[in-house]
């Protein structure tokens, strides 16, 4: 199923693409992207998926698949230098069950270019209880510049704070949000 | 969607029902009225789904392995004095515990024997969580010189030489290795930090022989687990009550007395027991320090999770080990994220509260004899050791009244589930 979608997308890309060079990057992007993006890529090829414009363009220009951070939750670092976008899997943080969290860092004044030259550490705690997570999540760097924290666990109900510490050149700024678990 | 709709539809009725039931039984004793938030919280504890699968154990749900494991659970011959089986301490007629403060086998143990009823729901095993799967737990008591004092070579020999055990083993795992040569396979050989001669005998064996024995031990361990996974209790009065909350059946709602209902309201409300005793198993599966005074008096010497977090990662039969049937699975990821930190000193696993009325005494050293003592402890925290630097600060004295204490105890008594079938509570073939 996934494969056929992928092949269909490939076919569309091949027949509708103009510049061969651009096509090369497109294919590479599609191949490197995860299954979700592959699906997005194929959906983007459906005529009315992207725009509501009345007259269909004679030959739609190839579009990059939407970045995985699109529609993710956003939080700004304390001193305002960074924007952190993040999403969890599952989308709603479960009470006392493992989840993963993927985050992208942007300069606040360029919120569509993922910063790759910063260090990001993700952590969480329950300040009211004076404890952190019972786990030390595993961090995986993804090709699109995001960091995925695997094996996160919020093992108790109540107020959790999520910390994104962004460091560059010995300077660290923290972006912070809280999550209320029932 | 549909469930939510019917839930909302019932809500108004639900809030009133317990009160009606109570009034019918005893007009003087008022049952609480549960608001929507309380109802949501109550429903997080019931119904209980079946135990989670264990992909690290390929025979976890194989009935043949369970039958074999049941035989092994009651087997005494491999113990050092020929008299001790798992069931010596996990006695079926005592809800698979021993009723003692501290476990007692060949010697006296340092911790209290937990029940193995519903053990398949647990996330970590032992009070300190030093085993990450149910099967990784089994080699411990088998070889511990204060428990059964068996050796893995001796166990492999018994399986190879006893016709019935051999047949059952072979059907599941293939023929056991030929260990007839006692110089190659010394019966008293096992890896041990405390038993130097057993350890020397073990290290004197060829590597491939040790390997073959370890495979047998892992297979036996997985069979112990397959049996214990079946020791699941049936619904408790509390589960019936929650069903009643959902479907409005007054006979089900009568499963909890007004006092127990008030205890339930406290449990998920003011007393906040749900912080740690969460979910259908009434445990978060994680570790906390209650500041209990050790039986031998302060200062505490048992570091609990502090050591357990380290041991579980080094455990030779853990989910990431070569004996695991899912080395890259969720259990292995979970294991790799175990954190060990100084503040875990003195933390112990939150026990499930299911069947708790039948598993006295309580806590990791059996410090408390009755449930009332336990609840009084949470109420006053009297005698609790001060929390260390950096340790969590969740527990505050609750200051409960005597009636509230009695209500909480009454509620805890409604978590008693029905026993697993009789044929699982005795040696196979016995009656």
- pLDDT at residue number B29: 66
Give the one of A98, A137, A156 whose C-beta lies nearest to B284's C-beta.
A156
- pLDDT at residue number A60: 60
- pLDDT at residue number A50: 38
- pLDDT at residue number A7: 40
The answer to whether residue B187 scores a pLDDT higher than 80 is yes
A157 with B274: Cβ contact below 8 A: yes
Q: What percent of chain B has pLDDT over 90?
A: 88
Q: Is B19 helix (H, G, I), strand (E, B) or coil?
A: helix
The answer to whether residue B410 scores a pLDDT higher than 50 is yes
d(CA A80, CA B296): 55
Question: Helices marked H in B231-363 — which ranges?
Answer: 237-247, 250-253, 258-268, 305-314, 330-336
Query: Residues A143-158: pLDDT tens digits?
Result: 999 999 999 999 999 9
B390 with A135: Cβ contact below 8 A: no
Omega before residue B64 within 30° of 0, cis: no
Which residue of chain A is at minimal alpha-carbon distance from B388?
A: A130
Query: Residues B312-349: pLDDT tens digits?
Result: 999 999 999 999 999 999 999 999 999 989 989 999 99
| Residue ranges of chain A with per-residue pLDDT less than 70 | 1-61
B339 with A155: Cβ contact below 8 A: no
d(CA B408, CA B372): 9
Query: Residues B63-82: pLDDT tens digits?
Result: 999 999 999 999 999 999 99
Count CB-CB contacts under 10 A for residue B239. 21
Find the helix or strand (DSSP H, E) in which B355 lies: none
B334 with A98: Cβ contact below 8 A: yes
Give the one of A98, A155, A182 whose C-beta lies nearest to B286's C-beta.
A155
- pLDDT at residue number B30: 83
B330 with A130: Cβ contact below 8 A: no
Structure tokens at B102: 């501290």
CA–CA min distance A53, chain B (Å): 35
Find the helix or strand (DSSP H, E) in which B217 lies: helix B207-228
Q: How confident is the model at residue B155 (pLDDT cuts 50, 70, 90)?
A: very high
Mean pLDDT score, B184-204: 97
Alpha carbon A92 to chain centroid distance? Answer: 15
- Asked whether B44 and B275 are in contact (CB, 8 A), the reply is no
Q: Phi and psi (nearest 5°) for B119?
A: -70, -20
Q: How confident is the model at residue B431 (pLDDT cuts 50, 70, 90)?
A: low
Angle between helices B207-228 and B63-73 (to 10 degrees): 100
d(CA B286, CA B124): 8
The answer to whether residue B3 scores a pLDDT higher than 90 is no
CB < 8 Å from B in window 113-132 of A: 129-131
Residues 6+ apart with CB under 8 A from B44: A95, B274, B278, B279, B280
| Residue in the structure block whose two tokens are 């006092």 | B259
A96 with B279: Cβ contact below 8 A: yes
The answer to whether residue B16 scores a pLDDT higher than 80 is no
Beta bridge pairs of residue B116:
none
- pLDDT at residue number B394: 83
Which residue of chain B is at minimal alpha-carbon distance from A139?
A: B337
- pLDDT at residue number A40: 39
B333 with A151: Cβ contact below 8 A: yes
A131 with B343: Cβ contact below 8 A: yes
Considering only the C-alpha atoms of chain B, give the largest distance between any 2 of them, rounded to a whole number of Å. 77
The answer to whether residue B27 scores a pLDDT higher than 90 is no
The answer to whether residue B430 scores a pLDDT higher than 90 is no
- Asked whether A16 and A60 are in contact (CB, 8 A), the reply is yes
Query: Residues B239-290: pLDDT tens digits?
Result: 999 999 999 999 999 999 999 999 999 999 999 999 999 999 999 999 999 9
The answer to whether residue B100 scores a pLDDT higher than 50 is yes
- A156 inside 8 A of chain B by CB: yes
- A135 inside 8 A of chain B by CB: yes
Q: Is B375 helix (H, G, I), strand (E, B) or coil?
A: helix
Question: Helices marked H in B287-344 — which ranges?
Answer: 305-314, 330-336
Give the one of B41, B333, B394 whose C-beta lies nearest to A150's C-beta.
B333
ipTM over 0.95: no
Query: Residues B202-213: pLDDT tens digits?
Result: 999 999 999 999
Pairing mode, if any, of strands A147-152 and A99-107?
antiparallel
How confident is the prediction for chain B on average, in pLDDT?
A: 93
d(CA B52, CA A103): 30
Pairing mode, if any, of strands A119-126 and A110-114?
unpaired
- pLDDT at residue number A59: 63
A182 with B41: Cβ contact below 8 A: yes
Q: Is B23 helix (H, G, I), strand (E, B) or coil?
A: helix
Find the helix or strand (DSSP H, E) in which A84 lies: strand A82-89
Count CB-CB contacts under 10 A for residue B5. 9
d(CA B150, CA B377): 39
- pLDDT at residue number A13: 37
Which residue of chain A is at minimal alpha-carbon distance from B44?
A: A182
- Least confident span in A2-11, B22-31, B374-383: A2-11
């Amino acid at each position: 199923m996934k494969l056929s979608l992928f092949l269909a997308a490939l076919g569309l890309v091949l027949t509708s693409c103009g510049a061969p060079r651009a096509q090369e990057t497109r294919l590479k992007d599609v191949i490197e992207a995860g299954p979700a993006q592959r699906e997005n890529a194929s959906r983007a090829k459906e005529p009315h998926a992207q725009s509501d414009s009345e007259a269909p363009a004679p030959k739609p220009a190839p579009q990059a698949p939407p970045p995985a951070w699109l529609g993710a939750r956003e939080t700004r670092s304390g001193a305002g230098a960074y924007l952190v976008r993040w999403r969890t899997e599952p989308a709603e943080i479960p009470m006392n069950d493992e989840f993963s969290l993927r985050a992208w860092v942007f300069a606040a004044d360029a919120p569509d270019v993922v910063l790759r030259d910063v260090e990001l550490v993700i952590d969480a705690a329950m300040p009211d209880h004076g404890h952190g997570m019972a786990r030390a999540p595993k961090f995986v760097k993804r090709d699109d510049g995001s960091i995925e924290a695997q094996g996160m666990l919020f093992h108790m109900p109540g107020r959790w704070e999520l910390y994104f510490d962004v460091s560059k050149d010995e300077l660290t700024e923290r972006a912070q949000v809280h999550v209320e678990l029932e | 969607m549909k469930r939510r709709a019917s839930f909302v539809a019932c809500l108004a009725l639900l809030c009133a029902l317990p009160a009606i039931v109570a009034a019918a039984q005893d007009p003087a004793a008022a049952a609480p009225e549960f608001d929507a938030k309380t109802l949501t919280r109550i429903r997080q504890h019931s119904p209980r789904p079946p135990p989670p699968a264990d992909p690290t154990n390929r025979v976890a749900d194989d009935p043949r392995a369970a039958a074999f494991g049941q035989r092994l659970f009651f087997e005494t011959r491999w113990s050092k004095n020929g008299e001790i089986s798992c069931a010596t301490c996990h006695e079926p007629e005592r809800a698979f515990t021993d009723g003692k403060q501290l476990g007692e086998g060949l010697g006296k143990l340092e911790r209290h024997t937990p029940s193995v009823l519903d053990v398949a729901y647990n996330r970590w095993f032992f009070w300190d969580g030093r085993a990450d799967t149910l099967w990784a737990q089994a080699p411990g008591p088998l070889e511990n010189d204060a428990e059964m004092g068996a050796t893995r070579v001796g166990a492999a020999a018994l399986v190879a030489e006893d016709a019935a055990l051999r047949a059952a083993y072979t059907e599941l795992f293939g023929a056991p290795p030929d260990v007839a040569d006692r110089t190659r396979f010394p019966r008293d050989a096992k890896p041990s930090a405390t038993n130097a001669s057993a350890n020397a005998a073990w290290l004197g064996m060829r590597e491939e022989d040790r390997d073959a024995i370890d495979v047998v031990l892992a297979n036996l361990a997985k069979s112990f687990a397959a049996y214990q996974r079946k020791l699941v209790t049936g619904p408790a009065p509390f589960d019936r009550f929650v069903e009643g909350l959902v479907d409005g059946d007054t006979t089900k709602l009568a499963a909890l007395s007004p006092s127990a209902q008030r205890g339930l309201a406290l449990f998920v409300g003011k007393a906040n027991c749900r912080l740690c005793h969460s979910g259908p198993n009434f445990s978060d599966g994680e570790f906390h320090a209650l500041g209990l005074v050790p039986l031998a008096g302060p200062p505490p010497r048992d570091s609990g999770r502090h050591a357990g977090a380290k041991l579980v990662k080094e455990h030779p039969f853990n989910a990431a080990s070569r004996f695991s049937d899912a080395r890259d699975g969720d259990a292995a990821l979970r294991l790799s994220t175990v954190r060990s930190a100084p503040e875990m000193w003195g933390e112990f696993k939150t026990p499930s509260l299911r069947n708790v009325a039948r598993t006295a005494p309580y806590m990791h050293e059996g410090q408390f004899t009755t449930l009332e003592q336990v609840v009084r402890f949470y109420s006053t925290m009297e005698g609790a050791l001060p929390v260390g630097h950096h340790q969590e600060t969740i527990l505050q004295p609750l200051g409960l009244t005597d009636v509230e204490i009695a209500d909480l105890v009454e509620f805890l008594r409604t978590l008693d589930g029905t026993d697993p079938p009789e044929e699982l509570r005795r040696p196979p073939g016995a009656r």
